[in-house]
Amino acid sequence: MLEKLLLAIPVFNEAKYVCDVLAMAKRHCRDILVIDDGSSDRTPEILGQEKGIHVLTHSENRGYGKSVADAFDFAQKRDFDWLITMDCDGQHQPSCIPSFMALARQGDVDIISGTRYPPGRDGNGVAPPERREINRRITAILNNRLGLQLTDAFCGFKAYRVAALSAIATTVPGYAMPMQFWVQASRANLRIREYPVPLIYDDPNRYFGGTLDDPAVRLTHYLEVLEAELNTVSSDASQKRFGCVSCH
């Protein structure tokens, strides 16, 4: 394992999985950060009994994107070299961590993004159809607008070169955070590589919460966040072109 590797795991009401996930993760990582996003089940109690991990706790549910942003901040402030993020719902296998780090050691990449849908695997029959379709549509739009070659825009199993995170400043707290992330990563010319990971849906009925449980609403939200971020980039570029530091 790399000496300065941090594994970050956002959790929200994951009492069912968190013990097993942490037990497996500890086989591969010495430094583990769990971000408890306002859990109301036994997750806080379980984390309080775990030894040798870092825990950040949100007093209320603030969203997946906020948890990931907290992980970015934690890794940068403590001078880690690499950060891996993974979910705690059984979809991401800690046994993949060594493969992520083997790619990281090659030194030619800034972001290693897990893909559940590499060429030859469409996910039909495993992934919930509406989730697969939204992922497919958003991934195609990102590739078209940003010139990327992604196959899975939403996989949270990623490795990041921490030094590259200085180019990332996401502000969207919820599940639309990847829209900001990919635009900012593209703008910064970060080197991106995908790595195939298992496609697992132990609980296809897990919900997003509120109106985002409606696929049409969720897709519209993602597109609105994407357009807002693209417009922010365009605005920043125009200000630099005309020497405008602060416009009112």
In which residue are the tokens 């013990």 written? Answer: 19
pLDDT in tens, 38-78: 999 999 999 999 999 999 999 999 999 999 999 999 999 99
Does the pLDDT at position 240 exceed 80? no
pLDDT in tens, 91-115: 889 999 999 999 999 989 999 999 9
67 backbone dihedrals φ, ψ, rounded to 5°? -65, -40
Average pLDDT on 189-204 reads: 87
Antiparallel, parallel or unpaired: β 192-196 and 5-11: unpaired
Residue 104: both structure tokens together: 């990281």
Question: pTM score, two decimals?
Answer: 0.89
What's the confidence (pLDDT) of residue 68? 98
Separation CA 91–CA 93 (nearest Å): 7
In which residue are the tokens 């379709």 written? Answer: 133
Domains of the chain in start order, with CATH, are 5-205 (3.90.550.10)
At 242, is the pLDDT very low, low, confident or very high (cuts 50, 70, 90)? very low
